[in-house]
Amino acid sequence: IAKMSTACKTILECIGEDPNREGLAKTPERWAKALMFFCHGYDLTAKQVISDAVFSENHNEMVVVRNIDIHSLCEHHMVPFTGRCHIGYVPNGKVVGLSKLARLAEMYARRLQVQERLTRQIADAVVETIQPLGVAVVVESSHLCMVMRGVQKTSAITTTSSVRGCFESNPKTRAEFFSILHGNSPRFC
């Protein structure tokens, strides 16, 4: 934290600020702690996140968790991108605690990232930890590197997908997943 705080003071000076003024006096340490939190995904592995939440279950239909909030930092500019992640899988004799899918998305999002890699890493982690018949992941995000600088397009949303197993080989399975994502599934609430 001390090394990062010192670096932050240098950055503040480089942009013409006084790091000792009242409003900024504690900013370097706050920034360092915040950055460590934003990047705490480096401290975890998929196996640690899943832990013992894999259960034998004779269920062979699609499981989808939609609208998982994600917040990450673009590795090119170190500014946020935020959005939603959707994860679907077809079990192969094992199911995983639903919250663990959200925790996997969180773990990979809390690293310096590009959205394409984030999407792929989540899909690969589901495959490695529960060996489903297939997995599909979609991430939709707004990138502040496109909103606050560069092209400054505030409405632009980037969508990435990654499919494995039956979602890749079976167009009907893939179509069912995307149909669920687009709201063509039964409404219960």
Catalytic residues: 74-77, 115, 143, 145
C-alpha dihedral over 71, 69, 121, 47, to 10 degrees?
100
Token pair listed for 59: 């269920």
Q: Where are the beta strands (DSSP E) in the chain?
A: 54-56, 63-74, 80-90, 94-96, 112-113, 134-143, 158-165
Per DSSP bridges, beta strands 63-74 and 80-90 are antiparallel
Element (H, E) at 172: helix 171-181
Q: Are 29 and 1 in contact (CB under 8 A)?
A: yes
Q: Are 157 and 126 in contact (CB under 8 A)?
A: no
Q: Where are the alpha helices (DSSP H) in 46-137?
A: 46-50, 98-109, 115-130
Instruction: State how far the Cα of 71 lies from the Cα of 50, in Å rounded to an integer.
Output: 20
